[in-house]
Structure 1
Amino acid sequence: MGHTSFNGIIPEVYEKYEKLRGLILNGNQFQGEVPSSLFNCQSLTVLDLANNQLNGTFPHWLGDLPELQIFVLKSNKFHGPIETPSTNKIAFPGMRVLDLSHNEFEGLVPQKYLQNFNVMKNMVMNSTIPIYLDIGGKNFSVTTVVKGMENNFLLVITFLLTCSMSSVFKIKGRE
């Protein structure tokens, strides 16, 4: 549902969507905060909310989603510090692509997040044949920002690993 001119707030998600694997709302006019009911989507693998007008603080509770591999919040109006989930679990255990670029977060990325990106740290290519992220017979594309340049991946190859935080943080009193 990306680039479809939707606007307003993202509707709440209920238990019947617990098997939802991909949600792409990139390039719309959504406002407000990320609905906490997305936590009901325990199978969510791809969440792309880029290029909207979403605001609020970093939705740290998404770090407890066990299947989340691609999480894109770029070019919104998020602000404040990036906090870690309150649970003792490893946050974002399967993260492959994280793009928080072009927001207004403050402070530093918690070390706990960077230490827990195990897929990014321990990637080993077992094949020379490209394997693409396939979620229920669908391949997903994603656009990320790396060093200020947008990169569009029409297919997400399983060894794609990126963490983009360009133009993200303001340290108190400075940008």
Structure 2
Amino acid sequence: MITCSPDGTLAALGAPNEALSGKLSRAIANLTNLQTMLLQNNNISGEIPLEISSLSNQQTVDLFNNGFSGGVPSSLGHLKSLQYLRLNNNSLSGPIPASLANMSQLIFLDLSYNNLSGPMPRLPATTVNIMGNPLICGSEDAKWCSGQAIPVPVSSSVSSSPGKRCNILWLLWLGLIKVKSQLQLQWFY
């Protein structure tokens, strides 16, 4: 699902379950009107680019079940419009940034099954899941680990002109998704 806004800018990027691999490029910052990013269940690896925090219109980020490593970027706290953040089932490590408490619109946060540590910041989200993080779930913050969060169905509320779609090839030109093999290029045609 690639959706453009009426002015032709990319508003929604959805490519779940497409076996995409490579790294998410820092050029993601060029998508200034992006509201929805659904890249779950792929093989995207590397660190989550800090530039993702410059996407101030972002409402939904779903990077569940990839190979992201490194820490949860503290700059995500700048995303004041973000309502849904799913980073579970990756290889993220380090503390959960206290800056996530600044995301005043956050409703759903899933950081489960990573290797996160440290104290749990006070978060505005009504649903939080950090199960499967042994360095948190074995501590005083274990109360956050007792329940299973039920994922809220994600749907894009992006308004777009009827039938207006972006050409996914320009995402390749931007370098948003680096493709490693010819077989993966078949998805783009």
TM-score tier (shorter): 0.5 to 0.7
Give the whole-Å Cα distance in 2 for the aligned partners of 1:90 and 1:98: 11
Please state if 1:81 is matched with 2:95: yes
Q: What is the aligned length?
A: 126
Give deviations 1:51-78, integer Å, cap 9, x for gaps. Answer: 0010101112111111100000000000
Deviation of 1:34 after TM superposition, in Å, equals 0.5
Structure 1 residues 7-156: aligned runs within 5 Å: 7-14=21-28, 16-85=30-99, 91-110=102-121, 113-114=122-123, 117=124, 120=125
Partner of 1:166: 131
Aligned partner of residue 8 in structure 1, secondary structure: strand
Describe the SS at the equivalent of 1:95. coil
Q: Output the TM-score relative to the length of structure 2.
A: 0.60
Give aligned-pair identity as a percent: 27
SS in 1 for 2:75: helix
Q: Which has the higher helix share?
A: 2
Instruction: Point out which structure has higher relative CO (alpha carbons under 8 A, 6+ apart).
Output: 2
Shift of residue 16 of structure 1? 3.8
Distance 1:28 1:15 in 2: 21
Higher gyration radius (CA): 2
5+ residue gaps, structure 2, are: 1-14, 140-189
The one-letter code matched in structure 2 to 1:162 is: T
For 1:29 and 1:40, how far apart are their aligned partners in 2? 24
Judging changes above 3 Å, is the alpha-carbon distance between structure 1 residues 162 and 6 closer, same or farther for their aligned structure 2 residues?
same
SS of equivalent to 1:71 = strand
Alignment match, 1:136: none
Q: Which amino acid in the other structure matches residue 117 of structure 2?
A: E
**Quick check: which one's strand share is greater?**
1
> What is the CA-CA distance between 1:15 and the residue it aligns to?
5.0
Does 1:4 pair with 2:18? Answer: yes
> In the TM superposition, what is the alpha-carbon distance from 1:107 to its structure 2 partner?
1.9
- Once residues 28 and 88 of structure 2 are traced to their aligned partners in structure 1, the CA distance between those partners, rounded to angstroms, is 25
Q: Structure 1 regions of 5+ residues with no counterpart?
A: 121-160
Deviation >2 Å, runs of 4+: 13-16
